[in-house]
Amino acid sequence: MPELSQDAERVRAPLPFGVAEVTGPSMVPTLRHGDRLLVHYGARVKRGDVVVLRHPFQQDLLVVKRAAERRDGGWWVLGDNAYAGGDSTDYGVVPDELVLGRVRFRYRPRSTARRSLPALLAWLLTSARPVLSDRSASRRLRAR
């Protein structure tokens, strides 16, 4: 169920950005286990954004989910993988103060097992990309 490694907590820095590592399958296909994220802490969140938040029941645990809908008292968040669980369907609305920031960018570390030139080129073309808002997140919400 954990979504980010425990060392993903942002260290006080002059810039509001930090790096986090994804663990777990709840955001597949958008994010995969091992992906690294550039997180903009304190950024304004809107529907469809991928966000980093503190788990409502275990606040030392950071998770990454998609902000699906604004509700009274906070955000209804969902994982992109409907079968993984661990989102607002389990713990309800997440208060605003627990939503820490917005994910801006994702990159996948290079596999050391694949060293061929085609594998390197494929990694270069697909390893990094911005994480964009998905306005279709509310479709899954309506389906529940």
What is the Cα 107 distance to its own chain's centre?
12
In order of 79, 92, 96, the CA distances from 34 in angstroms are 16, 27, 27
So what's the pLDDT on residue 2? 44
Written as tens digits, the pLDDT of the chain (144 aa) is: 446 654 455 444 557 999 999 999 999 999 999 999 999 999 999 999 999 999 999 999 999 999 999 999 999 999 999 888 889 999 999 999 999 999 999 998 877 777 788 888 888 888 888 888 876 554 555 555
Burial class of 124 by CB neighbour count within 10 A (0 to 12, 13 to 18, 19+) = exposed
